[in-house]
A and B are shown apart, each in its own frame.
Chain A
Amino acid sequence: MIILFGMPLVQVLLFGFAISNDIKNANIAILDHSKDYASREITQKLLSSGYFVLSAELSSEKEIGACFRKGKVKEVIIFGSDFALNLEKEKKGNIQIIADASDPNTANLLVNYTTSILNDYQRDLLKDKHLPLQIEPEVKLLYNPSLKSVFMFVPGIITILLMLISAMMTSISIAREKELGTMEVLLVSPLRPIQIVVGKVVPYVILAFADAITILLLSYFVFGMPVQGSMALLLAESMLFIVMALSLGILISTISNSQQMAMMLSMFALMLPTILLSGFIFPVENMPVVLQWLSNIMPPKWFIVIIKAIMLKGVGFGYIWKETLIILFMCILFISLSVKKFKIRLE
């Protein structure tokens, strides 16, 4: 019981605070061949940006390899010799950026940050000159202006937890009854199969629902994540998703005979796709077409779209009826499949 309520809390807090793609304080090393005012000025500018921390000053190119291999440094910036002189006289100062691309994403971001700081510096140099024909792009960020990662993750975590509690726990608890033989007892009792299933499922419905509300409250009060759209709609959609997940859980339990098998099935059929193919962390659009296609049959994907739409974009039912219909359809499919399977076992 503590696990069931403590876990979601801990997870939301951990992920909300810890998972982030925003780079701050990346360790860099500088190899300055000229050590003049311009190279120092640029170094200062880089270090005061908040993105970089100077962890080593190198004196020759040979040290770069060792530096990277130790894993202490993500980027090395090399100023060519006579940097300031070249910059003034020939309008051409040389800077080389070497990034540790064994983590390509970080390398890409770091190089982007560095160049934009260098560009700023160059613009400052030319400030007094009046330039013609300037296009000024103005950037507007909708729904999440401060680019918080939490906004991306909270919908995903809600989905994962609902999926976990509803589908995994039901499937395992039914498989457990089967394994221990108590299922037989229930089946020969005058209870009808539908009563048995409903009885098994209702506690988990309540539990999952309570968890969903806890997470929503937490993300509102701790992370300031708003619910722009209608709360009632959000809860109704969650309910639908919970029922869908439960029927999936029942389906899994009718297929598997042991807890271990039920667990394996829910692990690989539910958890991995929920985390990976649902757009929780990684945007689905960037995946190969086969995986995109595959992600369409993953129920969590549609639910995440719905939650994001309601919570962050504040849209009404008119924009998400398609996704709702898909989940409803999956729900009916799973229920009818498991009813069919369940009857077979009765005979």
Chain B
Amino acid sequence: MRIILIILRKEFIQVFRNKAMLPIIFVIPIVQLLILAYAVTFEIKNINLDIVDQDNSPVSRELISKFSGSTFFTIHNYYIDYNEATTDFKRGKAHQVLVIPPHFERDLYKENKAKLQLVTNAIDGSAAALMNAYGISIILDYNKDLLLEKFGNEFLTNPINVSYSYWFNPELNYITYMVPGILVLLVTMIGIFLSGMNVVREKEIGTIEQINVSPIKKYQFIIGKLLPFWFIALFELAFGLLFARIVFNIPILGSVGLIFGVASVYLLAVMGIGLFLATVSNTQQQSMFLSWFFMVIFILMSGLFTPVENMPVWAQHLNTINPIAYFIRIMRMIMLKGSVFQDILKPFAAITVYAAIMLSLAVWRYKKVS
């Protein structure tokens, strides 16, 4: 016990002697929360729309005014020729073009049927789907208005009365969704990077030899290496939660104690990974590269940005070995839905097993002889 305390003291002194450490602890969470929370959004506002109105009739003008009145659309330019509008596409100035062909109004009144075209830049597939949905709903609404105006409600076509409610986040606020995930990211970065780098640094500088020849036992050394970052990460989490609560007004419906309980186990798992990677690599460069590689894959697969359910089945299976995925799920459930311990039992058990495996792997790989 005394030996562990001594190693701990050494580690803390080393960590805080590093001038870059304090800004890392306090500034990075704030910057991350602020930038990530605002940058990461799939909401679509301000769709730049080009109009090609070849009909120029009262009906077409009225339809266009519906578009310009919508909060989603900004009319970027008017053209007569469709080819001119495609130039805007190529330059990336316009997202969508509405093409109203000649005789649109005449067709509508004479033949009761008129076509128009909505052309979308679909490189970003999901945004394109939303833009289409918005555009079509405006056109259909206008169609309904026309029918109402001419015939009253004789031809109204929706006998089903649909009502919606969005639970847990009625305003569909994306920030509320992102922040719990970002907090996970924060503690993970500290867990994987700092703890791993720390060990490799000793290796590179050669001081690890000195520790190896000392009577310090393997487990004492590893506990001494992990605990400081464990504390720092938990502190970071508390700081981040507070910041999220105050600045973003994120609700924390579930119990804060439960969050920290899960986090402390989770940290052991990611630190185990960091440490394991550190024992495998010889230079800081290698260790950093390896951790970066796993980090990016874990993050992108974790459902932080894109829901796990949308992935192919094999990718979802791959997520069984992704600790970040479990913790993000748990965090969102606890913070946003107020889930209790019984609800998160399964992912929590997975994290616990994970932590046990990773830590023993790290201890096993770490050899006192070089």
Residues of chain A at the chain B interface (Cβ within 8 Å): 3, 7, 10-11, 14-15, 17-27, 68-71, 74, 87, 91-109, 111-112, 115-116, 118-119, 121-123, 125-126, 129, 131-145, 147-149, 151-152, 164, 169, 172-173, 176, 259-261, 263-264, 267-268, 271-272, 276-277, 281-283, 285-288, 291, 305, 308-309, 312-313, 315, 319
Please report the C-alpha to C-alpha distance between residue A309 and residue B129 in the assembled complex, in whole angstroms.
Answer: 20
Q: Are A126 and B157 in contact (CB under 8 A)?
A: yes
Q: How many A-B residue pairs have CB under 8 A?
A: 305
> Could you name 22 residue pairs across A and B whose Cβ atoms are closer than 8 Å?
A10-B297, A14-B301, A15-B300, A20-B310, A20-B311, A71-B329, A97-B162, A98-B166, A104-B177, A106-B309, A107-B169, A107-B172, A133-B146, A134-B143, A136-B114, A137-B116, A137-B118, A137-B139, A142-B121, A144-B128, A152-B124, A272-B32
Within 8 Å by CB of A288, from B32, B38, B123, B343, lies: B38
CB distance from B346 to the nearest CB of A (A): 10
Q: Does B214 contact A (CB under 8 A)?
A: no
Residues of chain B at the chain A interface (Cβ within 8 Å): 20, 24, 28, 31-32, 35-36, 38-46, 89-92, 108-109, 112-130, 132-133, 135-136, 139-140, 142-143, 146-147, 150-151, 155, 157-170, 172-174, 176-177, 197, 201, 283-285, 288-290, 292-293, 296-297, 300-301, 305-307, 309-312, 315, 318, 329, 332-333, 336-340, 343
CB distance from B261 to the nearest CB of A (A): 18
Residues on B with beta carbons closer than 8 Å to the beta carbon of A259: 284-285, 288
Residues on A with beta carbons closer than 8 Å to the beta carbon of B130: 109
Across the two chains, which residue of chain A brings its CB closest to B32? A272
Across the two chains, which residue of chain A brings its CB closest to B129? A147
Q: Are A173 and B158 in contact (CB under 8 A)?
A: no
Q: State the majority secondary structure of interface residues on B.
A: helix
Please report the C-alpha to C-alpha distance between residue A308 and residue B121 in the assembled complex, in whole angstroms.
Answer: 12
CB distance from B260 to the nearest CB of A (A): 20
Q: Are A19 and B300 in contact (CB under 8 A)?
A: yes
Q: Are A143 and B310 in contact (CB under 8 A)?
A: no
Q: Are B293 and A92 in contact (CB under 8 A)?
A: no
Residues on A with beta carbons closer than 8 Å to the beta carbon of B318: 18
Please report the C-alpha to C-alpha distance between residue A126 and residue B147 in the assembled complex, in whole angstroms.
Answer: 15
Known A23-B310, A24-B310, A134-B114; 12 more pairs at CB < 8 Å:
A20-B310, A92-B160, A96-B163, A101-B167, A107-B166, A118-B162, A132-B150, A135-B114, A145-B122, A260-B201, A277-B39, A305-B92
Please report the C-alpha to C-alpha distance between residue A276 and residue B36 in the assembled complex, in whole angstroms.
Answer: 7
Residues on A with beta carbons closer than 8 Å to the beta carbon of B119: 140-142
Please report the C-alpha to C-alpha distance between residue A24 and residue B135 in the assembled complex, in whole angstroms.
Answer: 23
Please report the C-alpha to C-alpha distance between residue A9 and residue B300 in the assembled complex, in whole angstroms.
Answer: 15
Across the two chains, which residue of chain B brings its CB closest to A141? B122
Within 8 Å by CB of B310, from A21, A122, A123, A263, lies: A21
A3-B293, A71-B343, A97-B162 known; A286 vs B120 contact (CB < 8 Å) = no
Within 8 Å by CB of B90, from A11, A151, A276, A319, lies: A319
Q: Are A103 and B177 in contact (CB under 8 A)?
A: yes
Residues on A with beta carbons closer than 8 Å to the beta carbon of B305: 19, 281-282
Please report the C-alpha to C-alpha distance between residue A256 and residue B127 in the assembled complex, in whole angstroms.
Answer: 40
**8 nearest CB pairs, A to B:** A147-B125, A101-B166, A21-B126, A104-B172, A141-B122, A18-B315, A102-B336, A101-B169
A11-B297, A104-B172 known; A291 vs B339 contact (CB < 8 Å) = no
Please report the C-alpha to C-alpha distance between residue A105 and residue B174 in the assembled complex, in whole angstroms.
Answer: 7
Residues on A with beta carbons closer than 8 Å to the beta carbon of B293: 3, 7
Q: Are B108 and A125 in contact (CB under 8 A)?
A: no
Q: Are B164 and A111 in contact (CB under 8 A)?
A: yes
Please report the C-alpha to C-alpha distance between residue A112 and residue B166 in the assembled complex, in whole angstroms.
Answer: 13
Q: Are B120 and A138 in contact (CB under 8 A)?
A: no
CB distance from B234 to the nearest CB of A (A): 21
Residues on A with beta carbons closer than 8 Å to the beta carbon of B310: 20-24
Residues on B with beta carbons closer than 8 Å to the beta carbon of A140: 117-120
Q: Are B128 and A147 in contact (CB under 8 A)?
A: yes
Residues on B with beta carbons closer than 8 Å to the beta carbon of A98: 164-167
Q: Are A96 and B165 in contact (CB under 8 A)?
A: yes
CB distance from B282 to the nearest CB of A (A): 12
Residues on B with beta carbons closer than 8 Å to the beta carbon of A103: 177, 307, 332
